[in-house]
Amino acid sequence: MRKGSAEYDQALDATVEILRDRARQGAETVQYSQLSAELERLGHRVPPHEGPMTYLLEDASAAGSPDGSLPLLSALVVLKETRAPSGGFFRLARRAPYRRTGDDTELWVNELKALARHFADR
């Protein structure tokens, strides 16, 4: 699956929908492996920790907030071992246009709260 291909774009749309549904449910987190399994059920083969997953999560956040003003959907995706996002989420959140601040825990908790508020009535 190549970024920019029809297959990638379809997987991206599915990723965004899955994460928006989670956000509507009070910003319920999902493990990488669970997200991978949900995508697989929808016909998209996306391994949990390699290949296009990183790009899909970054692009899902950009699709939800291209100017950086809205909460990042990728905050919902967590590692099984830590139950927190990977380092890639924090790098994304701190760079332009998002520029989130605070230590990792504070940044993540604030993002989850913002997701829950933003999607509460959607």
Domain boundaries, the chain: 6-115
Strand partners, 77: 30
Helix, strand and coil content of the chain, in percent to the nearest 5, comes to 55, 5, 40
Kindly compute the dihedral angle of the four CA atoms of residues 62, 97, 79, 109, in this order, to the nearest 10 degrees: -110
The model carries a pTM of 0.93
Tokens of 34: 């669970």
pLDDT tens across the length of the chain (122 residues): 888 899 999 999 999 999 999 999 998 999 999 999 999 999 999 999 888 999 999 999 998 788 999 999 999 999 999 999 999 999 999 999 999 999 999 999 999 999 999 998 77
